Amino acid sequence: MRITKMAAPIRELAIFLLGLYIQCALGHVIELNNNFLEDRHKGSWLVEFYAPWCGHCKKLEPVWHNVGRSLQGSPIKVARVDATRYTAVANEFTIRGYPTIKFFKGDQIFTHNGGRSMEDIVQFAQRAQGPAVRELRSVTQLNDLRIKHPVFFLYVGDDNDSELKTAYSAIAEDYVLKGYFYQAPPTILPQDIKVDTLPTVLVLKDRKYFKYGGGDKALLKDFIELERFPAFPRISGDNINELAGSGRRIAVVVIEHSSVPTDVEEDTRVRDMLQELAKGRDTEFHSTFLYGWMDGTELINQITMSFVSTPAIIVLEPSTESYYLPDTPTAGMARPQLKGFLRKVISGDAPAYGGNSFLQRLKRVFYDFFTGVTSLFRAQPFIASILIGLPTFVVTFLCYSLCTTEVVDDMEDEDDLSEDEKEDEDRIDRYEEVSGHMKKE
C-alpha cells in the first residue's frame, strides 16, 4: 500500500522533469507564424525556414536547437517557421528551398550559404550581428585570434578619423559575411609584427602577416578581396561557392586518403608541391589563382561530370564553368611542369573543357540522373529496384501489347452467323445476281 502511495508522486516528478528537459532543449528556439512580418524589425533574428516533410530539415533540427542553446543570452533570437504553413512569410522573403537560413537585423537581411554545423551557423549569426569592425585591446586578444581565425584583417592606428579607417570600415560593412575585421592601437602588436608607417592595414593568415601597400579605397578593396582566403584551404561543398565567387581561377589538387600506401606517398608529394607554390605567393600567379585541395573525388566528379583518378591537378574557371587539365599525368609531375601548365592557362593556350553551353547543360541533366540513380542503388537497392523496375516493366508491357495487337476485320466470319442471317445473305446475293442480268438485257 505504501508503494502505491509513493508511485504517484514519483510519476508526477518524472513527468515534471521530462517537461523541464523538453522546455530546456526546445525553449531556445521560437516557433514563428505570419506575425513575424511585423516583428522582424524588433531586434536581431536568426530564422530557419523549413518544411515538415524535408529530410534535410529533420537532419538540421537537433543542430538548430543547439544553435539556440549556444546563442542564449545574446541579443540574437533564434527561431524557425514552417514555410509550407505560413506561406505569407515564405513569399515575402522568396523562399525557394528548404531549409533556408536567414539573419534579420533591421532592414538588413543576410542569407547563410555555408556549412550546416552548429559552429558554422553560430559564426554566421555573430558576423551578421556585427559590428563589422571589432576593437582589440590587448596582445592576448590578438594572439587568440591568430589561433582562432585562419585569416583576418587588422587596422592598426590611433587615428580613427583617417581616410584609411573610413574606407576600411565601409569595406568591412560590405564584407561582413566574407571576412573578419578588427582594429587595434600599435601598442598591442606582438614583437613579430613590425609596422613602419601608421595607420596601416594588415592581413594575418597562414601564421604570417602581410601589409597593405597603400592607395585609394578601390585598391584597399582589391587587397582585401585578394587576401581574404587562406593560401591553401581544403575545398568542400561548403566553401566551393564562396571561392568561386571571388572570380579567380582555382588550382585544385585532388587526393584520396583511402588509397593504397604507395599512392598516398605520391598524393602527398603532389599536394605539397601545389601548397608550396600557394604559400610562396609567386607574383606571377598570386593575383590570378586561388589554391586548394580536395580529399576524395566526389565533388570534382560532379564539377567535371567525369570520373577523376588521383592524384590530379585541375584548374577551375568559375566564370565560364569550364576547367583545364595538364598535358602530362599529374603523377610524377615536377614543379617546372606545374608552372608551365599554369602559364598555359593564363595565356589561353591550355584547352578548356566543360562550359555552360546547351550541350553541356543537357549533359548535366543526364549525368545528374545517372549519379542519382547510382547513389540510390547503393543506399537502398531494394527500393531503387522497385522505383526503377516497376515503371520499366509497365512501359515494356504497354509497348509489347501495342506492337503485337492484331487488326480485326469488321466482317464477321460466316461460321459465326445464325441460320436466319445466312438466309438473308443468300436472298441479297440472288437479288444482286438478278439485278445484274436485267441491267445487261
Res 15 pLDDT > 80? no
User: Beta strands 151-156 and 133-135: pairing type?
Assistant: unpaired
> What is the bridge-based pairing of β-strands 181-184 and 133-135?
parallel
Q: What angle do CA 49, 52, 58 make, to 5 degrees?
A: 85
CA 21 to chain CA mean position, Å = 34
Please, which pLDDT band fits residue 11 given cuts at 50, 70 and 90? low
- pLDDT above 90 covers a percentage of the chain that reads 48
What local confidence, expressed as pLDDT, does residue 77 receive? 94
Tens digit of each residue's pLDDT (9 = 90 or more) over 40-67: 888 999 999 999 998 889 999 999 999 9
Q: What sign has the CA pseudo-torsion 165, 171, 174, 175?
A: negative
pLDDT beyond 50 at 387: yes
Q: What is the pTM of this model?
A: 0.71
Q: Catalytic: 54? A: yes
How far are the Cα atoms of 72, 81, 294 from residue 104, in angstroms, in the given order?
17, 14, 34
Q: How confident is the model at residue 23 (pLDDT cuts 50, 70, 90)?
A: very low
- Percentage, residues of the chain above pLDDT 70: 81
Which residue, 342, 302, 298, is CA-closest to 324? 342
Q: Which of 9, 91, 89 is nearest to 45 (CA)?
A: 89
Contact 254, 311 (CB under 8 A): yes
How many residues make up the chain in this entry?
441
pLDDT for residue 430: 65
Q: Is a pLDDT exceeding 90 seen at residue 406?
A: no
CATH architecture of structural domain 234-356:
3-Layer(aba) Sandwich (3.40)
Measure the CA–CA gap between 360 and 354, rounded to whole angstroms. Answer: 7
CATH architecture, domain 23-129: 3-Layer(aba) Sandwich (3.40)
Q: Do domains 134-228 and 234-356 have the same CATH topology?
A: yes
| Domain ranges for the chain | 23-129, 134-228, 234-356
Q: Helix 217-227 and helix 163-174: axis angle, to 10°?
A: 50
Q: What's the rounded Cα separation, in Å, for the pair 312 and 412?
A: 74
Q: Is pLDDT larger for residue 312 or for residue 16?
A: 312
Cβ burial, residue 428 (10 Å; 0-12/13-18/19+): exposed
Task: Examine the residue annotation and report whether 399 is marked as an active-site residue of this protein.
Answer: no
CA atoms within 13 A on the CB side of 120: 12
How much is the average pLDDT of 82-105? 92
Least confident of 22-26, 330-334, 358-362: 22-26
Decide if 309 contacts 253 (C-beta within 8 A): no
User: Quick one: residue 184, left, alpha or beta (phi over 0 = left, psi -120 to 50 = alpha)?
Assistant: beta
The catalytically annotated residue of 24, 57, 399, 403 is 57
DSSP-assigned states of every residue in 286-333: TTTEEEEEEESSHHHHHHHTS-PPSSEEEEEETTTTEEE--SS-STT-
Strand bridging mode 44-50 / 100-105? antiparallel
Helices (H) and strands (E) in the chain, counts: 15, 15
Contact 232, 275 (CB under 8 A): yes
Residue 104 pLDDT > 60: yes
Q: What is the CA radius of gyration of the chain?
A: 35
DSSP H helices in 71-181: 87-92, 118-129, 139-148, 163-174
Residue 262 has what pLDDT? Answer: 47
The whole-number average pLDDT for the span 253-278 is: 82
> In a 3-state reduction of DSSP, which class is residue 101?
strand
CA 154 – CA 217 distance, rounded (Å): 16
- The whole-number pLDDT of residue 111 equals 92
Q: What gap in Å lies between CA 272 and CA 266, rounded to an integer?
A: 10
How much is the mean pLDDT over the chain?
A: 83
pLDDT of 361 higher than 90? no
Residues 134-228: name the CATH superfamily. Answer: Glutaredoxin (3.40.30.10)
Does residue 171 surpass a pLDDT of 50?
yes
Q: Which of 24, 54, 399, 403 is catalytic?
A: 54
Q: Is residue 408's pLDDT more than 60?
A: no
Angstrom distance (rounded) from CA 225 to CA 67: 30
d(C-alpha 294, C-alpha 273), whole Å: 14
- Beta bridge partners, 317, equal 322
CA distance 227 to 221: 10
| pLDDT at residue 106 greater than cutoff 70 | yes
